[in-house]
Amino acid sequence: MEKGDEKELLKQYHELAELAGSLAHEIKNPLSVIHMNADLLGEELAEFNWPGRRRAESKVEMIRQQCQRMENLLRDFLRFSRVRDLEMTPGDLNEQIERVLALYQAQAEKSGIEVICYLDPDLPSVMLHSDSLQASLINLVKNAFEAMETGGQLVVRTYTTPRGIALDLIDNGCGMDDGTAIHMFEPFYSTKNGGSGLGLPTARKIIEAHGGRISVQSELGRGTKFAIEFPTPARLR
């Protein structure tokens, strides 16, 4: 492909992404109105006793649930479409993952999940965007926790590599087959009931926006390993 053709395709991609984001915003507003009025209608139905009340309330509840599902999908899509050029500053990867794990401490205790950390104290700094990177890590930790419904162990480790620094997240949960692992970073692909299928693709997009890469290894019934590697700029080594 010629260089000019690549630039034109990239331009078309950005235009399409911009259009999709604008369309999502336009859908979000009337959807919120529908959801709010469904709530109000449900409250009014509850005030009267009439033969068809339960059927009507059931239908209103179905509308509410589908509105909530669409709102969640739009939220995830907008987050996915906004990941572009990020303003990076030097930061500590250990600090980023520690903040995310702190958010899940209560859930880990409640769910019987043991979190074991092996964080390299001499880890070099990397260029990062704190908010987006934490959002990416939250998606990965959330995925690991959901794979360990009856409890388990999550091992988190950071270390240096010849090209930069790395982060491994290893759980001993339900794992997945090869077919699922191959598609898990594809937008809108999900094996979870009601899932948007944008959590892991967004995580991957954020990591790649940092110049990093992510890979996954999994075995059904044994667990999953996410491996992330970030480049370390020469001036920060």
Q: What is the 3-state secondary structure (H, E, C) of 26-48?
A: HHHHHHHHHHHHHHHHHHHHCCC
Query: How does DSSP classify residue 229?
Result: E
Per-residue pLDDT tens for 23-33?
Answer: 666 777 787 88
pLDDT at 11 over 60: no
Q: For the chain, give every residue range classified as CATH 1.10.287.
A: 3-81
Please identify, in words, the CATH class of the domain defined by 89-236: alpha beta
Q: For the chain, give every residue range classified as CATH 3.30.565.10.
A: 89-236
pLDDT at 134 over 70: yes
12 by Cβ neighbours in 10 Å (0-12 / 13-18 / 19+) ranks as exposed
Count the helices and strands in the chain (H runs, E runs): 7, 7
pLDDT at 15 over 70: no
Please identify, in words, the CATH class of the domain defined by 3-81: mainly alpha
Distance in angstroms (rounded) separating the CA atoms of residues 202 and 196: 11
pTM listed for this prediction? 0.68
Tokens of 126: 């990397």
